[in-house]
Amino acid sequence: MDSANKTSFTRRDFLYRAAAVGGTGLLLNTMNAWGMGIASTAAAPPQLSGSGKGKRVLILGAGLAGMTAAFELGKLGYDCQIIEARAFAGGRCQTARQGFTLQELGGEAQTCQFDRGEYINHGPWRIPYHHQSTLHYTRLFEVPLEVMVNDNDHSIVYLEDAGPLSRQRLRPAALKADLRGHTAELLAKSVKNHQLDAELSADDQHLLLDYLAHEGQLAGADLRYKGRSGRGFSVNPGAGQLPGAGTPSDPLGFKQLLASKVGKVYSAVQDFPMQNTMFQPVGGMDQLAKAFEKRIGKKVRYQTEVTSIRQDAAGVSVTFKDTRSGKAGKLAADYCLCTIPLSVLRNIDTDFSDKFKQAVKAVAYAPVGKIGLQMKRRFWEEEDHIYGGHVLTDLQGINTISLPSTGWQKKKGVLLGYYNYQTAAIEMSALTPAERAEFALAAGQQIFPAYRASFEAAFSVAWHRVQYSLGGWAEWNEKNRASAYPLLLEGEGRVLLAGEHMSHLTGWQAGAIESAWQQIAQLHERAGA
Amino acid sequence: MDSANKTSFTRRDFLYRAAAVGGTGLLLNTMNAWGMGIASTAAAPPQLSGSGKGKRVLILGAGLAGMTAAFELGKLGYDCQIIEARAFAGGRCQTARQGFTLQELGGEAQTCQFDRGEYINHGPWRIPYHHQSTLHYTRLFEVPLEVMVNDNDHSIVYLEDAGPLSRQRLRPAALKADLRGHTAELLAKSVKNHQLDAELSADDQHLLLDYLAHEGQLAGADLRYKGRSGRGFSVNPGAGQLPGAGTPSDPLGFKQLLASKVGKVYSAVQDFPMQNTMFQPVGGMDQLAKAFEKRIGKKVRYQTEVTSIRQDAAGVSVTFKDTRSGKAGKLAADYCLCTIPLSVLRNIDTDFSDKFKQAVKAVAYAPVGKIGLQMKRRFWEEEDHIYGGHVLTDLQGINTISLPSTGWQKKKGVLLGYYNYQTAAIEMSALTPAERAEFALAAGQQIFPAYRASFEAAFSVAWHRVQYSLGGWAEWNEKNRASAYPLLLEGEGRVLLAGEHMSHLTGWQAGAIESAWQQIAQLHERAGA
């Protein structure tokens, strides 16, 4: 696998995949069109008038989309029943803590062995400030939030393939300071050499030099970059005379920086959807799922697999299998809201039209892998003074090591040992849980000397191998976004679809929630007609 | 005062003062030499051998410096006694919550009327990740920390004096995106026009264009900046087709941005000491003071004012006045560690040499003012989706409005209505508490429509008018840093000085703690000799 990985792994892959974690400014294909919004487009559920009294809605899946729908439709008087294949609610909104079990398809069972109080959000793990739909429910349900440190200029960048800066522990702050300092100096020189006289008036040139001197912290009349406090000191200021006011550190050379291409690991501004302020629920992402479950849990029939979906002019009928007893059963309703991932739905017996079935099959699901590593000591805090954020690396199959944004200064902590995607995720998923842990430890050891010695327990997931999920998120491309997507948004007859896959926020809880909001409005309209 | 303020207030003042809050990249004079350190210079107390058994140390002041000294000297066996003028420990490390009272010299008494659970850190309020000395004790004493959002690209910049961008609610993310995009485009053009052939090889030019295309997100073969997702969308992406993938927003014009000089409100990288990850103790900064008090409180004699300090070959004697009974008293010891601010010490009767007395008088103390405003509704979160961080403004006397980094999504919150310094702080301190609140509300109302209507209670402080502090922090200049500072660091005979003023981290708790560490080492050496 190693060699396969080597050949399949390019710097471009790294940068491409790093974007999945948001540590860099690069974007996933699916994000190209996205932006940060000053106003949220969907900050509250739709205001629906009329009543759903006497109408039965069968909701397939107790993930965030299904539970959002049940919660909101219930307020309108609809009689909702949720069918959930898993023994718990939340879908991919999961948190692995002591006793949590997972068995991937064809894989061995894992039972999380972390200490009490330690956990990893192996599914969704971040809520950006502009996901007002998700934040609507954390606020309504009073789910306590804490800041998730998604940007840390004082974390580490460690690249194997960075020319003259390869295999060094670099700090993003130093890279930003030096690249912006050198480029500001270069542009200032162009201005002073009158090379921009055609572009800018004398006044504008004066204003630009003023800006560049600030942005690049250029010193002297000749506006040279000679380093800055923000890049880091070799010795910090302190008390008394020694170390006194601190000892400056030397900037990295411009040509060296250019040759290393490290400028691509950060962005001038964080791109949507990775922007701060970033949140996480205190105690684990599943606290959000549990908050929903507390309110609509009675409507959920657990460990019940959907085997078929049928509809006629009169209503919808769904057959299922109880995974405990193995017994089959059937439920009828006026409408059905199906939140089952398309990767799973495509294998369920339905009477959808061929066109609709083709659309269901059209979208690929992202192979995604994560591993949580419990460390008996927070060496990253104690020795490197890194508090949260991501360690960006091109080490094969790792993409990022992310440090916990909770339990500050506690003895132990669970870090994210890798967050891989596509090729690397597929390769990693071929390994056993123990092999994955070994892979992650060998890589992390190259960056942190105390890594392997501090390791206590691992828990990993390969979402594309997880039953009832079969992938991290729906990965639309331009073609099927234009053809299949609009068709699926319409649903078919009495069956409507909801979930992150029915949004432009794929892979995000906000996508599932906003999709549910949109589809219940459509269902309500259809039911009223 | 208004006109006086107008004349005394310039854009330079704003930028200069804004640095005090760290919202901009500009530096206070005292910070010019400072830098961010990758390794902390003082991460743990000095390892001292030998014993202080049988030796009495009189510590003047139960602030962080005094309590740090008592805690560490106690471990060595010294018999420490602390004299504290206030009725509580912590010095300037204070948190105003319901019932907290403050009477400035010559001012009316304020009793904090905030709701239970609401508070403002009107003294120190931030602990940067590299203040390992402060973090040593939060870790040792298990003081829970939470992230203090010190950078928020999605907060607001509102300037009266920004030319074409005056009186607009600007978002830092948009300013960074556009200025960096336009300047990257400009430099790319210089490269393509072969104006840098003398500077850079063809290869380096290629690498530079590659970097600029990423940093400025330049589009097309002609490398033009046309906006980016990071600057914000006019409509966010969501579920379904509408708003679909989001609606782009138009960049601000380059000349407009240059003329506004808004590029100076942010920095290429955060300068020391404002760097993230930034922390605050859960429940208020005074939790740190209380953690010390819990351990050494028995050694503290409260409400006891020092009236004189004397020493001879045999020891030190300190006279005091009990502020409750008014009775005078006297205490003797082998050594004295005086942590009283120099602004206060200069008025105490001592037998220091004239040279030493002059040195004590040499340093000025910073006029600093803060006001906490309890709002009955978190309109900044609910309406503007701003979670923590600073609103940067040049509105007279305000400098910044800082939004709370705690109690996310709760109904109420206490924000910092102004954090002013120097001239503005002096002018503000001439007002009554009610007048200060009115001043803050009138200013904030210009930025947030719901500001005044949401106001419930205010608590303000002018540190230069606070008895036993008489200023925010010691403000050394180059001259007295070279002359008076070294002299004071030596102490005189059996009397040594400690506190933030005896450090290059003035105004920071780390300065007080590291100064105590340094001075107890000196005391221990002197005591051993």
* Domain ranges for chain A: 3-31, 56-85+299-362+475-528, 96-123+367-465, 171-265
Q: Which of B36, B176, B193 sits opposite A232 (nearest CB)?
A: B36
A33, containing H or E segment: none
- B337-361 per-residue burial string, b: 16 or more CB within 10 A, e: under 16: bbbbbbbbbbebebebeeebeebbe
pLDDT value of position A42: 75
Q: Is B162 on the interface with A (CB under 8 A)?
A: no
In angstroms, what CA-CA distances link B260 with A73, A191, B254, B270?
A: 50, 19, 10, 21
pLDDT band at B28 (very low <50, low <70, confident <90, very high): very low
B471, with CB counted inside 10 A (0-12, 13-18, 19+), is buried
Q: Which residues contact A206 (CB under 8 A, 6 or more apart)?
A: none
Q: Which residues contact A73 (CB under 8 A, 6 or more apart)?
A: A52, A57, A80, A520, A523, A524
pLDDT over 70 (residue B106): yes
Cβ-contact B137, B518 below 8 angstroms: no
Q: Is B68 on the interface with A (CB under 8 A)?
A: no
pLDDT value of position A479: 96
pLDDT band at A110 (very low <50, low <70, confident <90, very high): very high
- Interval A180-231: pLDDT, tens: 999 999 999 999 999 999 999 999 999 999 999 999 999 999 999 999 999 9
Cβ-contact B228, A33 below 8 angstroms: no
Q: What is the mean pLDDT of residues A520-526?
A: 96
- Interval B325-350: pLDDT, tens: 999 999 999 999 999 999 999 999 99
Q: Is A275 on the interface with B (CB under 8 A)?
A: yes
pLDDT value of position B17: 39
pLDDT over 50 (residue A436): yes
Would you call A416 helix, strand, or coil by DSSP? Answer: strand
Q: Which of A181, A189, A211 sits opposite B179 (nearest CB)?
A: A211
pLDDT over 60 (residue B43): yes
Q: Which residues contact A515 (CB under 8 A, 6 or more apart)?
A: A65, A498, A499, A500, A501, A502, A503, B239, B240
Q: The tokens of B389 are what?
A: 């961080």
Which of residues A136 and B249 earns the better pLDDT score?
A136
Ramachandran area for residue B194 (φ above 0: left; ψ -120 to 50: alpha; else beta): left
pLDDT band at A41 (very low <50, low <70, confident <90, very high): low
Exposure of A340 in the CB half-sphere (CA atoms within 13 A):
30
pLDDT band at B416 (very low <50, low <70, confident <90, very high): very high
Partner-chain contact B35 A279, CB within 8 Å? no
Q: What are phi and psi of A281, to 5 degrees?
A: -65, 140
Cβ-contact A368, A465 below 8 angstroms: no
**Residues of A whose CB is below 8 A from B387:** 129, 277, 279
Q: What is the largest CA-CA distance in chain B?
A: 86
Q: The tokens of A266 are what?
A: 């950060």
Report the distance separating Cα B451 and Cα B445, nearest Å: 5
Q: Is A244 on the interface with B (CB under 8 A)?
A: yes
In angstroms, what CA-CA distances link B302 with B118, B284, B323?
A: 27, 22, 9
pLDDT over 90 (residue A237): no
Domain formed by B56-85+299-362+475-528, architecture: 3-Layer(bba) Sandwich (3.50)
pLDDT value of position A7: 32
Q: The tokens of A179 are what?
A: 């690249």
Q: What is the mean pLDDT of residues B176-193?
A: 97
Which segments within A226-350 are labelled E, that is strand?
A: 233-235, 247-248, 278-281, 300-301, 304-311, 316-322, 328-333, 335-338, 349-350
Identify the CA nearest to B129 among candidates A153, A228, A475, A198: A153
Segments in A193-275 forming alpha helices (H): 202-215, 254-260
Nearest-Cα distance to chain A for B216, in Å, is: 7
Identify the CA nearest to B152 among candidates A481, A217, A269, A349: A269
| Beta partners for residue A60, in sequence order | A83, A338
Which of residues B234 and A386 earns the better pLDDT score?
A386
pLDDT band at A242 (very low <50, low <70, confident <90, very high): low
pLDDT over 70 (residue B25): no
Domain formed by B96-123+367-465, architecture: Alpha-Beta Complex (3.90)
Average pLDDT, chain A: 91
pLDDT value of position B247: 82
Would you call A94 helix, strand, or coil by DSSP? Answer: coil
| For chain A, percent of residues with pLDDT exceeding 70 | 91
Q: Which of A139, A171, A176 sits opposite B409 (nearest CB)?
A: A139
Give residues 493 to 522 of A whose Cβ lies within 8 Å of B. Answer: 502-505, 510-511, 514-515, 517-518
Exposure of B363 in the CB half-sphere (CA atoms within 13 A):
34
Report the distance separating Cα A123 and Cα A286, nearest Å: 9
pLDDT over 70 (residue A15): no
Partner-chain contact B187 A189, CB within 8 Å? no
pTM of the entire predicted model = 0.92
pLDDT value of position B243: 58
Q: What is the distance between the terminal CA atoms of chain B, rounded to a whole angstrom?
A: 57
- The 10 Å Cβ neighbour count of residue A229 is 27
Q: The tokens of B245 are what?
A: 């993938």
Cβ-contact A400, A23 below 8 angstroms: yes
Report the distance separating Cα A35 and Cα B234, nearest Å: 9
Residue type (1 letter), A482:
A
The whole-angstrom distance between residue B145's C-alpha and the CA centroid of its chain comes to 17
pLDDT value of position B237: 86
Identify the CA nearest to A158 among candidates A398, A374, A371: A398
Q: The tokens of A126 are what?
A: 């971040």
B227 to chain A: closest CA residue: A35
Least confident of A172-176, A280-284, B40-44: B40-44
- So what CATH class is A171-265? mainly alpha
Q: What is the mean pLDDT of residues B269-284?
A: 94
Partner-chain contact B195 A199, CB within 8 Å? no
Report the distance separating Cα B357 and Cα B342, nearest Å: 10
Q: Using DSSP bridges, classify how beta strands A413-421 and B56-60 pair: parallel, antiparallel or unpaired.
A: unpaired
pLDDT value of position A5: 32
Q: What is the mean pLDDT of residues A392-397?
A: 95
Give residues 187 to 226 of B whose Cβ lies within 8 Å of A. Answer: 187, 189-190, 193, 195-196, 199, 204, 207-208, 210-212, 214-217
Q: What is the mean pLDDT of residues A396-408?
A: 96
Report the distance separating Cα B329 and Cα B332, nearest Å: 10
Nearest-Cα distance to chain B for A37, in Å, is: 4
**Residues of B whose CB is below 8 A from A230:** 25, 35-36, 267-272, 275
- Interval B367-399: pLDDT, tens: 999 999 999 999 999 999 999 999 999 999 999
Which of residues B2 and B340 earns the better pLDDT score?
B340
Identify the CA nearest to A30 among candidates B214, B230, B250, B237: B237
Would you call A124 helix, strand, or coil by DSSP? Answer: coil
Q: Is A302 on the interface with B (CB under 8 A)?
A: no
